[in-house]
Amino acid sequence: MFVLFRLLFVLAVVVVGYWLYYIFVAVDPYDPIGVAINERMPQPMRELSCVTLHRRHPGVLEPPSGCAHLWVDKL
| Tens-binned pLDDT, residue by residue, of the chain (75 aa) | 899 999 999 999 999 999 999 999 999 999 999 999 999 999 999 999 999 999 999 888 899 998 988 776 444
CB distance 18 to 33 below 8 Å? yes
Report the pLDDT value the prediction gives residue 8, as an integer from 0 to 100: 97
Number of H-type helices and E-type strands within the chain: 3, 0
Report the pLDDT value the prediction gives residue 72, as an integer from 0 to 100: 67
CB distance 21 to 32 below 8 Å? no
